Amino acid sequence: MRATLLFVATLVVPTTGQENHGSMLLQNSIADTLNNTEWAFPLAECIHIGGFAVSIGSIALVDFRMLNLALRKEPTARILRYTELWTVVALVFVLFSGLMLFLSQTGIYLINPIFPIKMYVLGAALIYNFTIHRKVATIENPSPGLSKTVAIVSLLLWVAVVFGGIFTGFLE
């Protein structure tokens, strides 16, 4: 992951070499806008927070159903069907605003000790959500043990992502 981030950084961070003029300009203009427009950075942060509230909140509703903690009369598959679109649309907003925040201060994020861990956990949470979590939420009669385990892992992964985000901000 760190290698991937460094690769992205070499594409977007201004370098002494002259190879990457286009991406360099793009990164500079995004960073300039976010850093020099008074409201741009906080706006991106608010979109990020609102987006993760909607995406993680809608996933958590499926988890709460799998744990038999709410909406027990409905099958889990139906909860998933009703929330999935909101989850995906909100995730697009979160990832896009997150990318903007990253590009505005690439250097700071790349030397941050917590940021790469957050990205690993985020990657795991995303893959998990659209594979194992989705599969178990849609099967007809999963064993209660399986459903509950899958739901708890899902909640733990997403909570870890939020903690990772806050700690990235605190340990720069």
- Residues of this chain that interact with another protein (CB under 8 A) are 42, 45-46, 49-50, 52-54, 56-61, 64, 69-74, 78, 82-83, 85-86, 155, 158-159, 162-163, 165-167, 169-170
Smallest distance, another protein to C-beta of residue 118, A: 12
Smallest distance, another protein to C-beta of residue 171, A: 8
Residue type, 91: L
Give the residue carrying structure tokens 């990457």: 20
Nearer to another protein, 6 or 46 (CB): 46
Nearer to another protein, 59 or 100 (CB): 59
Give the residue carrying structure tokens 């594409």: 11
Nearer to another protein, 16 or 36 (CB): 36
**Interatomic CA distance for residues 93 and 84, integer angstroms:** 14
Nearer to another protein, 11 or 71 (CB): 71
Smallest distance, another protein to C-beta of residue 158, A: 7
- Pair 142, 136: CB distance under 8 Å: yes
